[in-house]
Protein backbone atom coordinates (compact mmCIF):
# COMPACT_ATOMS: atom_id res chain seq x y z
CA UNK A 1 0.00 0.00 0.00
CA UNK A 2 2.78 2.47 0.84
CA UNK A 3 5.02 1.39 -2.07
CA UNK A 4 2.75 2.85 -4.81
CA UNK A 5 2.56 6.15 -2.91
CA UNK A 6 6.35 6.34 -2.62
CA UNK A 7 6.80 5.42 -6.30
CA UNK A 8 4.40 8.16 -7.39
CA UNK A 9 5.83 10.82 -5.07
CA UNK A 10 9.40 10.07 -6.20
CA UNK A 11 8.74 9.89 -9.93
CA UNK A 12 10.85 13.07 -10.09
CA UNK A 13 12.70 15.33 -7.65
CA UNK A 14 10.28 17.42 -5.61
CA UNK A 15 11.28 19.94 -2.94
CA UNK A 16 9.23 22.40 -0.92
CA UNK A 17 10.65 24.77 1.70
CA UNK A 18 8.49 26.50 4.31
CA UNK A 19 10.62 28.52 6.71
CA UNK A 20 13.14 26.18 8.36
CA UNK A 21 11.30 23.04 7.17
CA UNK A 22 12.00 21.32 3.86
CA UNK A 23 9.93 18.49 2.37
CA UNK A 24 11.61 16.33 -0.25
CA UNK A 25 10.70 13.42 -2.53
CA UNK A 26 13.71 12.14 -4.48
CA UNK A 27 14.55 9.18 -6.71
CA UNK A 28 18.25 8.37 -6.07
CA UNK A 29 20.30 6.69 -8.78
CA UNK A 30 20.88 6.79 -12.51
CA UNK A 31 18.15 8.53 -14.49
CA UNK A 32 15.23 6.14 -15.03
CA UNK A 33 16.64 3.44 -12.74
CA UNK A 34 16.77 4.65 -9.12
CA UNK A 35 18.12 2.24 -6.52
CA UNK A 36 16.57 4.23 -3.65
CA UNK A 37 13.48 6.39 -3.28
CA UNK A 38 13.52 8.91 -0.42
CA UNK A 39 10.77 10.91 1.26
CA UNK A 40 12.25 13.35 3.78
CA UNK A 41 11.37 16.12 6.18
CA UNK A 42 14.28 18.32 7.29
CA UNK A 43 14.02 20.91 10.04
CA UNK A 44 17.03 22.81 11.32
CA UNK A 45 19.73 20.09 11.60
CA UNK A 46 17.51 17.00 11.84
CA UNK A 47 16.00 14.79 9.13
CA UNK A 48 13.36 12.08 9.14
CA UNK A 49 13.38 9.94 5.99
CA UNK A 50 11.48 7.02 4.56
CA UNK A 51 13.80 4.99 2.28
CA UNK A 52 12.53 2.45 -0.22
CA UNK A 53 15.61 0.42 -1.27
CA UNK A 54 14.95 -1.16 -4.68
CA UNK A 55 18.40 -2.38 -5.74
CA UNK A 56 22.08 -2.14 -4.80
CA UNK A 57 23.49 1.36 -4.29
CA UNK A 58 27.01 0.23 -5.12
CA UNK A 59 28.93 0.84 -8.24
CA UNK A 60 31.30 -2.10 -8.53
CA UNK A 61 33.87 -1.85 -5.74
CA UNK A 62 32.67 1.53 -4.42
CA UNK A 63 31.29 2.54 -1.04
CA UNK A 64 29.99 5.87 0.22
CA UNK A 65 29.59 7.79 3.46
CA UNK A 66 26.78 10.17 4.36
CA UNK A 67 26.63 13.86 5.23
CA UNK A 68 24.50 12.86 8.23
CA UNK A 69 24.80 10.39 11.09
CA UNK A 70 21.80 8.08 10.80
CA UNK A 71 19.73 5.73 12.90
CA UNK A 72 17.80 3.36 10.66
CA UNK A 73 14.77 1.23 11.60
CA UNK A 74 13.84 -1.68 9.29
CA UNK A 75 10.10 -1.61 8.52
CA UNK A 76 9.86 -4.22 5.74
CA UNK A 77 12.13 -6.54 3.78
CA UNK A 78 15.85 -6.67 4.46
CA UNK A 79 19.29 -5.71 3.24
CA UNK A 80 22.97 -6.54 3.50
CA UNK A 81 25.41 -3.77 4.44
CA UNK A 82 29.20 -3.95 3.93
CA UNK A 83 31.62 -1.58 5.71
CA UNK A 84 34.94 -1.94 3.84
CA UNK A 85 37.31 -0.25 6.29
CA UNK A 86 36.36 -2.66 9.09
CA UNK A 87 35.60 -5.59 6.75
CA UNK A 88 32.26 -5.95 8.52
CA UNK A 89 29.21 -7.48 6.83
CA UNK A 90 25.84 -6.75 8.47
CA UNK A 91 22.49 -8.31 7.62
CA UNK A 92 19.37 -6.34 8.53
CA UNK A 93 16.25 -8.34 7.84
CA UNK A 94 13.99 -8.40 10.84
CA UNK A 95 11.21 -5.94 11.40
CA UNK A 96 12.06 -3.64 14.25
CA UNK A 97 15.80 -3.87 13.54
CA UNK A 98 17.88 -0.78 14.39
CA UNK A 99 21.14 0.20 12.63
CA UNK A 100 23.43 3.10 13.64
CA UNK A 101 25.49 4.59 10.78
CA UNK A 102 27.87 7.36 11.92
CA UNK A 103 28.62 10.10 9.40
CA UNK A 104 31.90 9.47 7.62
CA UNK A 105 31.63 5.64 7.84
CA UNK A 106 31.90 4.10 4.38
CA UNK A 107 29.39 1.42 3.46
CA UNK A 108 27.42 -0.08 0.61
CA UNK A 109 23.94 -1.57 0.77
CA UNK A 110 22.22 -4.35 -1.19
CA UNK A 111 18.54 -5.05 -0.43
CA UNK A 112 17.06 -8.53 -0.48
CA UNK A 113 14.84 -9.44 -3.41
CA UNK A 114 11.64 -7.48 -2.97
CA UNK A 115 13.50 -4.49 -1.54
CA UNK A 116 13.55 -2.93 1.89
CA UNK A 117 11.68 -0.12 3.57
CA UNK A 118 13.44 1.81 6.35
CA UNK A 119 12.60 4.74 8.59
CA UNK A 120 15.74 6.84 9.03
CA UNK A 121 16.57 9.57 11.52
CA UNK A 122 19.50 11.80 10.56
CA UNK A 123 21.55 14.59 12.11
CA UNK A 124 23.51 16.90 9.80
CA UNK A 125 27.23 17.04 10.34
CA UNK A 126 28.98 20.37 9.98
CA UNK A 127 30.50 19.91 6.51
CA UNK A 128 27.45 18.15 5.06
CA UNK A 129 29.50 16.38 2.37
CA UNK A 130 29.27 12.94 0.83
CA UNK A 131 32.36 10.76 0.77
CA UNK A 132 33.35 7.89 -1.52
CA UNK A 133 35.77 5.00 -1.10
CA UNK A 134 37.33 2.93 -3.88
CA UNK A 135 37.57 -0.55 -2.34
CA UNK A 136 39.95 -1.87 -5.02
CA UNK A 137 42.36 1.06 -4.92
CA UNK A 138 41.87 1.50 -1.17
CA UNK A 139 41.54 5.25 -1.49
CA UNK A 140 39.12 7.96 -0.43
CA UNK A 141 37.62 10.16 -3.14
CA UNK A 142 36.73 13.68 -1.95
CA UNK A 143 33.13 14.62 -2.79
CA UNK A 144 34.29 18.05 -3.97
CA UNK A 145 36.71 16.60 -6.55
CA UNK A 146 35.67 16.14 -10.21
CA UNK A 147 35.56 12.38 -9.67
CA UNK A 148 33.54 12.76 -6.46
CA UNK A 149 31.04 15.20 -8.00
CA UNK A 150 30.41 12.72 -10.82
CA UNK A 151 29.34 10.10 -8.25
CA UNK A 152 26.66 12.17 -6.51
CA UNK A 153 23.26 11.19 -7.90
CA UNK A 154 21.16 13.77 -6.07
CA UNK A 155 22.38 17.23 -7.01
CA UNK A 156 21.87 20.38 -4.97
CA UNK A 157 18.85 22.63 -5.36
CA UNK A 158 20.79 25.09 -7.54
CA UNK A 159 19.87 23.37 -10.81
pTM of the predicted structure, to 2 decimals: 0.81
Domains and CATH numbers, the chain: 2-151 (2.60.120.10)
- pLDDT score of 73: 93
List residues bridging with 93 in a β-sheet: none
User: pLDDT tens digits, residue range 83-106?
Assistant: 888 888 888 776 668 889 888 888
**What pLDDT does 157 receive?**
42
Tens digit of pLDDT for each residue in 45-56?
888 999 999 888
pLDDT band at 61 (very low <50, low <70, confident <90, very high): confident
Give the torsion sign (CA, 62, 117, 81, 114).
negative
Give the number of C-alpha atoms closer than 13 A to the C-alpha of residue 81, restricted to the C-beta side. Answer: 21
pLDDT of residue 24: 92
Amino acid sequence: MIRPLILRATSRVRRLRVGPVQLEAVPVGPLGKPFLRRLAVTAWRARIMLHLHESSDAREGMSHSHPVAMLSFMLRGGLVEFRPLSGEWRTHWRRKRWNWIPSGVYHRVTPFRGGALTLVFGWLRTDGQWGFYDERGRREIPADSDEGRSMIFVKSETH
